[in-house]
Amino acid sequence: MTKTRVIAALIMAPAAICAILLLPTQWLVAAAALVFLTGLWEWLKLTGVDGLPRTVLLVLNLLLMVLLVWASAGSTVLFQLAILVGVGFWMAALLWLRFFNFGAQGEASARMLKLAAATLAIVPAWTALALIHASEPAGNRWLLTALAIVWAADSGAYFAGRAFGKHKLAPRVSPNKTVEGLLGGLVAGLLTACVFGWIAGVQLSDLGWLLLVATVTVLASVLGDLFESLLKRHAGAKDSGHLIPGHGGVLDRIDGVLAALPVFALGKEIFGF
């Protein structure tokens, strides 16, 4: 499984990097919408929504994305507001992880919240991706930096956890995650932030702020991963889907990104690097 996972990553990573660096923002945003909406499709399945209602909800989220682009008309205000909403949602998600059993029995109220959570996770992450990529200068390199931090943290946590993991991080939600894995992922994410931040053109005076944002970004990515694990536990599913060999579904690959991108975009806006 590790071999399959690595091979799949070696195929996906160059494709993603080329798209980020070479595509204009409007085309990248369209491609990202396809990926994120595929993740949304899997999220809806985990909440027990199928058939026509699932398709209707997917279309409504697509229309929301289109409406945001149309209403922005050259302004970034709506996108910034969406990012703030996304960060607020992920802060609230910490509370849901604390009360793990809420929604485990498929109560109607919890299901509605899970459906709302899908939009609050997918759309702000997509707007954050667009805002980072469109930023000047070197927005494409800054988006690559944000995603590289998440990818490195995920890989660092995986290998550090396998090698050194002893203390469970959240045993009820994700039994395989460990504190040692979290620390390994954090180190990998910070090192990656330094390298890719330098490529993106970060000033030495802003390096400390970048590392602060990278730290919170890594922690947010773990939160996103844990929240998806909660959805899978409630649904009795091992993976969100089977599209990616060794990785599961699309949502399994972007769960950390969904939480990390709004945080990174907000930090970049605040500190101006």
The token duo for 35 is: 């990926």
The token duo for 43 is: 């999220």
Can you give the pLDDT at residue 2? 63
Pairwise CA distance, residues 262 & 83, whole Å? 5
Q: How far apart are the two ends of the chain, measured CA to CA in Å?
A: 39
All residues at 6 or more sequence positions from 33 whose CB lies less than 8 Å from its CB, including other chains? 62, 65, 126
Pairwise CA distance, residues 185 & 167, whole Å? 15
Pairwise CA distance, residues 16 & 36, whole Å? 13
Phi, psi of 177 (to 5 degrees): -80, 140
What residues are paired with 178 via a beta bridge?
Answer: 168
pLDDT at 45 > cutoff 90: yes
Pairwise CA distance, residues 146 & 235, whole Å? 30
Question: Within 10 Å of residue 150's Cβ, how many Cβ atoms?
Answer: 29
Q: How large a percentage of the chain has pLDDT more than 70? A: 97
pLDDT at 34 > cutoff 70: yes
Q: Tell me which residue has tokens 């990998």.
A: 188
The token duo for 174 is: 């994700």
pLDDT at 223 > cutoff 90: yes
* Band of residue 88 on the pLDDT scale cut at 50, 70, 90: very high
Say what angle helices 25-46 and 108-134 make with each other, to 10 degrees: 170
Write out pLDDT tens, residues 157-193: 999 999 999 999 999 899 999 999 999 999 999 999 9
Higher-scoring residue by pLDDT: 6, 229 = 229
Write out pLDDT tens, residues 90-135: 999 999 999 888 888 878 888 899 999 999 999 999 999 999 999 9
Q: How large a percentage of the chain has pLDDT more than 90? A: 82
Pairwise CA distance, residues 161 & 273, whole Å? 32
* Band of residue 246 on the pLDDT scale cut at 50, 70, 90: low
Can you give the pLDDT at residue 16? 94
* Band of residue 62 on the pLDDT scale cut at 50, 70, 90: very high
The token duo for 145 is: 């930096």
* Band of residue 248 on the pLDDT scale cut at 50, 70, 90: confident
Confirm if 129 and 32 have CB atoms less than 8 A apart.
Answer: yes
**CA dihedral angle for residue 5, residue 11, residue 12, residue 14, rounded to 10 degrees:** 130
Can you give the pLDDT at residue 241? 83
Phi, psi of 167 (to 5 degrees): -100, 120
The token duo for 4 is: 């399959």
Pairwise CA distance, residues 174 & 225, whole Å? 9
Mean pLDDT of the chain: 93
Pairwise CA distance, residues 106 & 88, whole Å? 24
Residue range 185-202: mean pLDDT, rounded: 97
Number of domains in the chain: 1
Residue range 131-159: mean pLDDT, rounded: 96
Can you give the pLDDT at residue 263? 98
Residue 191's domain comprises 2-271
